[in-house]
Amino acid sequence: MTQKQEGVNLREQLHSYEKKIMSQNGEDGIIEELFSRIGTTNQFFVEFGVQDGLECNSAYLALFKNWSGLMIEGNLNHYKNLYSNFANRATVKIVHQFITKENIVSIFKRMHVPIEFDLLSIDIDGNDYWVWRALSEYNPRIVVIEYNASFPPPQKMVIKYNPNFMWDGTSYYGASLTSLSELGKELGYSLIGTDSRGVNAFFIRNDLVNASRFKELTPEQAYHPPAYGPYNGGHPWRDGPYLEI
C-alpha cells in the first residue's frame, strides 16, 4: 500500500459506521461504535447547540438508549420546542442559555455535570474552540466538535473571541481542524477522524485510544472538505478577524 493509499484509508476509518437516526450527518452510528468499543461509565452526555433536540448528537442516546444528560440551547424559539420535546423525559435536563467561555463552567456546576462523563458534543456555530478550552477541568471520554472545513490543514484558524458572536451564514465561524487538533492535544485528546461531510471532528481521551482500536490521526489524515453549503463547497466566504493558534 502506498503512503497516499494509506492516508485515504485512515481518513475513512470512521465512515463505515456512519448512521443517521436522529443526528444530522451520520454521527449516531460513529458514536454508537465508539462506545461499543470503549464501553460507557455513567451514560451521561452534554450537548449545546441542539435547537429543538430532535436532530442532534445526543437525541438518539436520550430517546432510544436511556442515557441521561444536559441539553443547552441559546435561541428562545428553539428552546421552547426543545422543552416541549423533552419535558416528559426526567433524565434529560434542559437549559436556555447563550453560551460563552465565561459562563460555561458555571452552567456545568449549576447543573451538576460530573467531572468525568461519556460524551460532550459542541456545535454553536462560533465560539466552539473557546468554550471547549474553558472546560479544561472536565474530562468527557469522547468529544464531538464542529470544525470549519473551509480552512484545510495545515491552516490554523480560530475566530477572534466575541462573547456575543452570532453566525451570519458565512465561512466566518469556529476553528479549523488543525487548531482544534492542537487544542485537543493540550486537553489530553486524540483526533481519530471526521464525518464524510466535513462537519464534525471526533476526539477520544488519550487513555482510551488503545481500547477504541482506532488510530490517532493528524489533521491532514482526518480532514474532509466541506460537502455542505449552497454548492456543497462550504458557506459563502467572509474574511476575519482570525487568530492563527
Cα(26)–Cα(178) distance, rounded to whole angstroms?
Answer: 22
Residue with cell 477572534: 160
Indicate the pLDDT class of residue 231, thresholds 50, 70 and 90. Answer: confident
Cα(181)–Cα(175) distance, rounded to whole angstroms?
Answer: 10
Q: Which domain holds residue 196?
A: 3-243
| 9-34 pLDDT, tens digit each | 788 999 999 999 999 999 999 999 99
Number of structural domains (the chain) is: 1
Residue 243 dihedral angles phi and psi, to the nearest 5°: -115, 140
Q: What percent of the chain has pLDDT over 90?
A: 92
CATH number at residue 184: 3.40.50.150
Q: Of 49, 48, 45, which Cα lies nearest the Cα of 35? A: 45
| 97-137 pLDDT, tens digit each | 999 999 999 999 999 999 999 999 999 999 999 999 999 99
Amino acid in position 188: G
Q: Would the pTM count as exceeding 0.85? A: yes
Cα(41)–Cα(82) distance, rounded to whole angstroms?
Answer: 26
Residue 186 dihedral angles phi and psi, to the nearest 5°: -60, -35
Cα–Cα–Cα angle for 108, 114, 116, nearest 5°?
Answer: 120
